[in-house]
Chain A
């Protein structure tokens, strides 16, 4: 008898809660104040991530062609054209490095594209032996954009010396081959990542609306913040400026050998971060749903300060600080490193806003240990 009573009560209780939830859905429309995460993921995939990879593939195809021209006929004209195309592709790369998800994550794509500083001895020994597995972990510091940086700008003291390495010097053939292999490998890797996005991962990504550590929103937010903190703030500024060591390392800047482009690349990376934050479509002027829209939605519910505005403002401040720097970060560090650390400090302030304030509002788990909570 008592058990029947108990079951009745539970059923009534469940029904009450059930009713109040279904009555919300009875109108057939979503409540106006619900945020459409699916639309955000679609926008990220279709208008930002895939277009950025497509553009990178175009740039790398052009790079490969320029390399072919150079290898066929090594001279000043072909070298300059190759360098120019390398920089174009490198700038585009800044727009995809943060998307360490899907196939890119599986095959450690970014580790094969942009680990710097390179280890010159590894590159030279690869050239000398002519046998190498470019995808091996041991070659992460001998491939990708930084390796090309060395091959195009660092092989000699001036252009004549560099060209000699490809023409008259001993082992010139091996040097040409290594340059060729490294370039083609970057194109191949990018093709694999893009192909997977198109044929397979895009739908998985968009469909995974879970809010746990493996959900798409959660994962990409983690990637985004991690990239900002590590790839942008630490690698491009903190490490060369000596924030993590007793002395600065001017030789650890990005594109060290080409000397004049580290600022350009860093500014591109910052723009990429801010564009993604605001949901700006890649390569067009359109915008869609992203962190800004998400935070604004939550602000309606939770109240509080305008966080998306604060983050944009801090990123702008950081950009202004970076713009005062020398085009060549290496030279900046050697002449006046305090300017470099000032830029780092401004970037750091945005880490706090992203990693503390934004993470709390979005309630995203930063760690992947799914231990129990209270």
Chain B
């Protein structure tokens, strides 16, 4: 086994899939940031709200006012740097830091695919993805033909984990035996041409989509790995992501996944892509004759770097494999409490709607008043806050501090909350007589959440 692992780590392979992946990733990220900016979301999501929901342990990450634009600019430029392979290590490091900082500013906007981008850019920092087909190669006057195969496999593993864990999460009774939440979502897409007012309204179709989705997620990493099914698998990837893009507002994510899946193909495909890109480059007039580059057959990491990076990435992947299962450490239904829900590839799994109002009470006199949430939160924040316990707690503290600073005495904060999950009737969500201003955020179970009344079986 030890010998096998050593031979595996020594195995070299064509660098083309990795450098093409790098280019596409950079381009996609650049476009994503531009799109985000052009949609006015920097203002709407970060600058306009007066209060932001933070991640536990990252409360120090703040929205730096007008400098927020600078962070986005940095993010866009570093994405461009990744695409061009210009000072690659710096570009990818800056991209990872700026992108992750943006995500940490407000957890209202948390999306699994943003988390995926952060992880991927972290991983890319350690991979020689600019060894060829990059401005760095031009600058340094040399290119590498091969890199250690594990560098490419690491990206495949990351992609595989995302799909496979998303599939595992779908093995639950709501998804498979109630066709929830698709039974809520699909019929509401009645305005879709051809299938909107017919197929999507059919119960059997909602079930078929649920089961197909689960099988797709579980199987696709293996179908992509296996040469004989690869092309079919890629066709499935394209179809699946385009279809979900049509159905749901998921932005750039489907395209990112489609181009990412190209990494599973043999190098021949990537050489053709590189050829096309080069031809476009010449057509655009970049005819500057470049001195011929020195061709180095194999890229090898400096010994010290290799000694550090390999264990580091192994730990990284062990964490990736274990983190989604941390929910097992908490009592109660995961979908209800959401303790251990994020960072676990639980994508499109539930439809949850809540309504939560807060009462500020003077503990001595008993005088009280209700808070108008729209005074403090945007409608998007209010919506997200209303069914997520950590949001409710953080907001309760914010309200407590706010009214204390206004001169209110003996401030106590109580929440009245109702939540509906996957089409079930709404039920009370938090204990109404619990002063949330006294409760502290932690990784421990929040015992003021009223337990889920139903049962959802499965992983």
Interface residues, chain A, CB within 8 Å of chain B? 2, 5-6, 9-10, 13-14, 18, 20-22, 24-25, 30-31, 33-35, 37, 209-211, 215, 234, 238, 242-246, 298, 301-305, 307, 310, 351-353, 355-357, 359-364, 366-374
Contacts and interface: CB of A to CB of B under 8 A. Distances in A.
B70 interface: no
23 contacts: A31-B197, A34-B190, A209-B191, A211-B189, A234-B372, A244-B371, A245-B369, A246-B367, A301-B187, A303-B423, A307-B425, A310-B425, A351-B355, A353-B426, A356-B418, A356-B426, A361-B184, A367-B378, A371-B109, A372-B249, A373-B250, A374-B112, A374-B113
B185 A14 contact: no
Most buried by B among A298, A352, A355: A352
Given A25-B194, A353-B426, 14 more contacts: A9-B235, A24-B199, A30-B197, A35-B190, A209-B190, A211-B188, A234-B372, A244-B372, A305-B425, A357-B353, A357-B426, A363-B184, A372-B111, A372-B252
B107 interface: no
Given A367-B378, A371-B380, A360 B191 contact: no
Contacts of B187: 298, 301, 363
A370 B250 CA distance: 10
Most buried by B among A5, A13, A35, A302: A302
A355 B382 CA distance: 12
B348 interface: yes
Contacts of A238: 370
A14 B111 CA distance: 29
B354 A356 contact: yes
A245 B112 CA distance: 40
A33 B201 contact: yes
Contacts of A211: 188-191
Nearest to A24: B198
A305 B425 CA distance: 7
B52 to A, nearest CB: 14
A304 B249 contact: no
Given A34-B198, A304-B424, A360-B351, A367 B369 contact: no
Contact of B423 (A25, A234, A361, A372): A361
Interface in B166-208: 180, 183-185, 187-191, 194-195, 197-199, 201-203
Contacts of A298: 187
A367 B199 contact: no
A357 B425 contact: yes
B45 interface: yes
B36 to A, nearest CB: 9
Given A6-B235, A9-B231, A31-B198, A363 B351 contact: yes
B420 A20 contact: no
Most buried by B among A305, A356, A367, A370: A356
Contacts of B383: 366-367
Contact of B378 (A13, A302, A357, A369): A369
A53 B161 CA distance: 58
Contact of B202 (A31, A209, A370): A31
Contacts of A18: 194
Contacts of A374: 111-113, 250, 347-348
Contacts of B418: 352, 356
Nearest to A2: B231
A227 to B, nearest CB: 15
A371 B45 contact: yes
Contacts of A356: 353-355, 418-420, 426
Contacts of B382: 367
B379 interface: yes
Contact of B232 (A9, A234, A370): A9
A244 B370 contact: yes
Nearest to A355: B355
